[in-house]
Amino acid sequence: MTRTRETPVSTYRLQLGPDLTFDDAARQVDYLAALGATHLYLSPVLQAAPGSTHGYDVVDHARVSAELGGRAGLEALAGRAHEAGLGIVLDVVPNHMAVPTPAWHNRALWSVLAQGASSPYASWFDVDWTAGEGAVLMPVLGMRLGDALAAGELVLDEIEVPGDERGPGATTAVLRYYDHVFPVREGTQDLPLAELVERQHYRLAYWRVGDEELNYRRFFDVGTLVALRVEDEAVFEATHALVLDLVRTGIVDGLRIDHPDGLADPAQYLERLADRTDHAWVVVEKILAGDEQLPSDWATVGTTGYDVAWRLQQLFVDAGGRAGLDGVMTRLVGPSVDGLAGVVEDAKREVVEGPLYAEVHRLTDLAAAVCHDDPRLRDHTWRGLHQCLRELLVAFDRYRAYVEPGVAPRHEAVRAVHDAADRARARLDAQRGETLDVVVDLVLGREVGSAGRRREPRRDELVVRFQQVCGAVTAKGVEDTAFYRWTELSSLCEVGGEPDHFSLGLHDWHAFAQRCSRLSPLALTAGSTHDTKRGEDTRAALGVLSEDATGWAALVGEVRAASASYRSALVDGLAENLLWQTVAGTWLPHPAGGTGSGGETGAPGPGQRAVDPERLVDYLRKALREAKVATSWTAPDDAYEQAVSELARRALADPSVLAAFDAWSRDHAEELRAASLGIKLAQLTAPGVADVYQGSETYCPTLVDPDNRRPVAVDVLGDRLQRLDEGAGARTLADEKLLVTTSALRLRRSAPEAFVGPDAGYVPVAVSSPCALAFTRTAAGVPRVVTIATRLHGTVRRLGGWRDHVVALPSPGPSVGWHDLLTGRDHPAGTVALADLLADLPVALLVPGPAAATSTTSATTGPSTAEGTVA
């Protein structure tokens, strides 16, 4: 019997891989059910490339990953979850497949390499068969082809390819380059090696050639991920049959769609997916710029929550600290004339002229062919078109404008293209103005040139391909380059973030939350994800810097002086600012007014509170290579990287440096506590489906992947949760965050109508202080839950506490007051002193309870983590 599909109320993200198989995940089910989650949210489960640690490099859409446990393992996990009352949400990767090593792991790609355009799988991949003499470029060589041939590094071999349809024992002629193995075109086996290489359906090339001559669309600039053409219905069906079956049979309840902006037609894809899944719950990994909205015709409940994450982060950042933090960055890195906008423009320009040159070149070839075919456009040169397309891509302020060939573009899309064109025009010679006008009309699908010349294959392709390239340029230029160069407050440079906004006010947050409640009440809300550059607690700790920018500047001066004797002249200000901020963000916190840290008892010394040196070094190496200033992935500077690593290791062994950061942690323990707990509680009770990334239910300062994908000590967390359930007080910030998380998740599970039901609402609650965030979640207009969180605790402390500030708690019903699930306190409806509400914790989670004339104090913090009961 097919199981009834359930809409998620909350999700718990599990990053599957070699360290977390289906069997491992099944052993976590009891804990996750006790935590309060309603759904397990699984990373991709289809067969991935050999050695994959994340699953986004699929090689076979018809198989569940053998390394994770195969289909039987997935079904066993689902069965165990269903028994515990948990559903399953699955991450799906429609945009690309892996180019694995050896290539035969991807049978579809192997067929294309063997048979070229005549392969039955040729329509799967976005290959330009007119370029490169019809050969797919394979830029895998460590030297130029001629040198590789001369060195004897290319070898003709005969091997048995696993899974060969001819059966066991059948052998195939292959061309081998170390671990790389490629099929040999039938009839060319006996040719001299150089001629054999020349006659294949693929072109082996030096790896650097890929950025200039690649003739297949890839995932951003990752040549080992080849794009799929799921706009072709046959390709969609072939690559989604297994996923659709998992939904149809009730194993999977909902889907998360990876990178829809890479697709030719996201709206068509989502509509087809909705039709084939009977409109299952589907969220999309879509980054919205500023106030950009999802297209209204997309068949999705909303995004994966980056828009929520950055706003919540900045809600807890003090606008008054910006000048001080900018001063530190300027002192270390140097002045930035055009600010972040200039850094972004420079980075995007480097990307279109470097790693994405091949994509821009292909786009220009297409535009030039369109113009050449029309006598009225023929005088627009390749060079002019290239300059205009390049500047338009650099000037674009979002991932893409959603324009469909033959469909009048939405007003928002037209405005986005014209705004970018206005900026691009200022960077172009005046003589290019007419060419830019033509480019704008072409990318918007308008009639331009000869009358009636609008719906033609090349023009339609240009409309689509411009948007796909635009998304790649934005992702690589902004998030993967500029955001690693801008170190004013590094926590704001997050996936989907808006660091130039710096701080968000209460009114802006409430307006955003109310809009989400109205337009996307079932979208995900995110704190940490597998893609975030820093975990939510690292970001919270960094946000505290804004609350005492003067103190932070003094700390940086102190640790710079202490490290001067071993800081190489090779270390630049970018690396140094990232180093000091990362140490502050990952420092294990001091308890406010007690002992212990993280989840520890006792009083560890400063050295034990610092991040592990190797984790720090690995992060800095990745961050600085992404920044591409002094080193990069394609041109690593070993001396520079060694100097940065040496500084990091020496600093974390330097008693003076450690003592300085330990003092900072002690002095700002309450600020960190308020930010960590406040951001978490607000995220878990805001409009949408609350997502908890593995391990983030407790205090867990992580860095960019793979750091954020380390195994989680679930047994330890389970024991801690049990202690809280048995009435033990929360002893550390880790305990308190677990208390907040489980209380909110259990409340959501017991009262879904207040959070994701059709009548769920969000209403701001009046407070007399801008340092308090308060809102109520309603059902059919009746207050059912109240969230209160302290923001900018440093300001509260400087003003001597809450003093006479109050919150106006709404009435949940006649003769009914409020009960705090976190502390056990009861409070009356009406005007209540914040000092009373937040006496034990900097946050409160209120549900209807006994009426109380005055607040009553419990003896301990966190006496109850039972399911919330809502009247």
Per-residue 3-state assignment (H helix, E strand, C coil) for 513-530: HHHHHHHCCCCEECCCCC
Q: State the Cα–Cα distance between residues 850 and 827, nearest whole angstrom.
A: 8
827 contacts: CB under 8 Å, gap ≥ 6:
809, 817, 818, 819, 820, 836, 837, 846, 852, 855
User: Is the predicted pLDDT of residue 869 greater than 80, yes or no?
Assistant: no
* pTM of the entire predicted model: 0.94
Identity (one letter) of the amino acid at 705? D
Do 730 and 813 contact (CB within 8 A), yes or no? no
pLDDT at 336: 86
User: Is the predicted pLDDT of residue 822 greater than 60, yes or no?
Assistant: yes
User: Is the predicted pLDDT of residue 210 greater than 70, yes or no?
Assistant: yes
Q: Which residues pair with 10 in a beta bridge?
A: 690
User: Is the predicted pLDDT of residue 61 greater than 90, yes or no?
Assistant: yes
263-267, 313-317, 593-597, 744-748: least confident range = 593-597
For 479-502, write each residue's pLDDT tens digit: 999 999 999 999 999 999 999 999
* Tokens representing residue 558 in the block: 């102190």
116 contacts: CB under 8 Å, gap ≥ 6:
122, 129, 134, 135, 136, 185, 201
User: Is the predicted pLDDT of residue 871 greater than 70, yes or no?
Assistant: no
- What average pLDDT does the structure give for the chain? 94
Across residues 121-127, what is the average pLDDT? Answer: 95
Rounded alpha-carbon distances, angstroms, from residue 703 to 203, 490, 694: 39, 12, 14
Across residues 384-395, what is the average pLDDT? Answer: 98
pLDDT band for position 592 (50/70/90)? low
pLDDT at 58: 98
Across residues 768-781, what is the average pLDDT? Answer: 98
Q: Using a pLDDT cut of 90, give the percent of the chain over it.
A: 89
pLDDT band for position 599 (50/70/90)? very low
What domains, with CATH codes, occur in the chain? 10-95+230-304 (3.20.20.80), 103-227 (3.30.1590.10), 340-464+475-485 (no CATH)
For 779-788, write each residue's pLDDT tens digit: 999 999 999 9
User: Is the predicted pLDDT of residue 706 greater than 70, yes or no?
Assistant: yes
Q: State the Cα–Cα distance between residues 122 and 124, nearest whole angstrom.
A: 5
Across residues 521-535, what is the average pLDDT? Answer: 96
19 contacts: CB under 8 Å, gap ≥ 6:
711
- DSSP letters for 12-27: EEE--BTTB-HHHHHT
